Amino acid sequence: MKLTILFGGASFEHEISIVSAITLKEKLSNFDLTFIFCDSDHTFYLVEPSKMKAITFSKGEHKKMAQLSLTQGGFMQKSLFSKTAYTNVVLNLIHGGDGEDGTISSLLDFYAIKYIGPRTDASVFSFDKVYTKYLCDAIGVKSVPYEVLKKSEQKDITIGYPVIVKPSRLGSSIGVSIVKDESEMDYALDTAFEFDDTVLVEPFLEGVKEYNLAGYKSGDEIKFSIVEEPHKEEFLDFEKKYMDFSRSEQVLKAEIPEDLVLKLQTNFKKVYDGLFEGALIRCDFFVHNDEVLLNEINPIPGSMANYLFEDFATAIEELSGSLPQKKMISASYEYIHSISKAKGK
């Protein structure tokens, strides 16, 4: 299968996207892969597969490679005497801003480029953690209680300590702090507000179980991954998650009752249906006091959560064959013609 992997972007998760792309090069080694790197200045570069190494980007060697522009249906490489079009299905692997905030999806839709990834409306509700809470309320999925703090206003929280403080529109645990008492709160807020002007505060739940579940839609059926119970630590910071994104070996299936698996899948389906078609997403759930709570939606999970699937290559093939088609509207100018005719022009 031919596939273009689009990665990089202008976000705090730029380097994670590079790690993900290098990992997928290994996982999809039987594919005919094209790699397009979006630099932080929004220039697109065609990267030779042999150069898909972290040092290529850290040393700026990609800047010597061919630049691409967008055209209807794909990317275009122009030289003095020729043009080469890259019209494969695109896998949007840009994490964070650009890739997950709706920017890239809008751009690809505008140029009628087929792609795997969240559409713009799905990006809006998953990129902003506050909007994810609103989505949960609308679709009947329970989530962790929360309060919202704005940089522009002073407000005391009513949630009891300990709490978790998160920037609203950022992933990979960047800017996130566990606050054990009031004396630590100002520093945690200063840290979070460096990355966003809106902050989410949630209670730190004791005795919580964590489970990750990924999936995608093929035809009319949602195909689920195994359920993973991630390694339990008090907090997975950026460095631990950075290493986590390079995983390529399938993880062990969580040893949990079948009725809990069904509950997780039911909640996943509520999140996915009608919003995330065309994307492979991972939902991170908490189970607390026998209640399933959605913690986070990962619309472009690190390395596409390949480690949760027994046959990841088949998952990508099935998904690429079930992409939603955006209806294109053509201009007929009938209204203008009718006005002109009525005026005798």
Q: Looking at 187, 203, 219, which one is the last position of a domain?
A: 203
Q: Is residue 309 part of a domain?
A: yes
pLDDT digits (tens, 9 = 90+) for 150-159: 988 877 899 9
Cβ neighbours for 243, distance < 8 A, ≥ 6 positions apart: none
For residue 95, being part of any structural domain is answered with yes
If asked whether residues 191 and 217 sit together in one domain, one would say no
Tell me if 336 is assigned to some domain: no
**Residues 212 and 302 grouped into a single domain:** yes
Predicted pLDDT of residue 45:
98
For the segment 289-305, the average pLDDT, to the nearest whole number, is 96
Higher pLDDT among residues 80 and 147, named by residue: 147
Task: Over range 183-204, report the average pLDDT.
Answer: 93
Q: Are residues 156 and 215 in the same domain?
A: no
Instruction: Tell me: do 271 and 133 sit in the same domain.
Output: yes
My answer on whether 137 and 247 are in the same domain is yes
CATH number of the structural domain spanning residue 313: 3.30.470.20
Tokens 């009628």 belong to which residue? 112
Q: Are residues 216 and 311 in the same domain?
A: yes
Percentage of the chain lying above the pLDDT 90 cut: 79
Q: Are residues 179 and 198 in the same domain?
A: yes
Same domain, 235 and 316: yes
User: 220 and 271: one domain?
Assistant: yes
> Model confidence over 236-271: pLDDT tens digits?
554 555 455 567 678 889 999 999 999 999 999 999
Would you state the pLDDT for residue 345? 61
The answer to whether the CB of 73 falls within 8 A of the CB of 111 is: yes
342 found inside a domain: no
341 falls within a domain = no
What pLDDT is attached to residue 79?
85
In a domain, 232, yes or no: yes
**173 and 270 share a domain?**
no
Same domain, 254 and 307: yes
CATH number at residue 187: 3.30.1490.20
- Please count the structural domains in the chain: 3
Q: pLDDT at residue 25 above 60?
A: yes
Q: Which residue has the tokens 């700026």?
A: 60
Do the Cβ atoms of 222 and 322 come closer than 8 Å? Answer: no
Q: What is the pLDDT of residues 89-143, one digit of tens each?
A: 999 999 998 999 999 999 999 999 999 999 999 999 999 999 999 999 999 999 9
326 in a domain, yes or no? no
Domain-embedded: residue 334? no
At residue 330, the pLDDT reads 85
Query: Structural domain of residue 6, as residue ranges?
Result: 2-117
Q: Looking at the structure, do residues 21 and 113 belong to the same domain, yes or no?
A: yes
pLDDT digits (tens, 9 = 90+) for 52-103: 999 999 999 999 999 999 999 999 999 878 899 999 999 999 999 899 999 9
Q: Is pTM, for the whole model, over 0.85?
A: yes
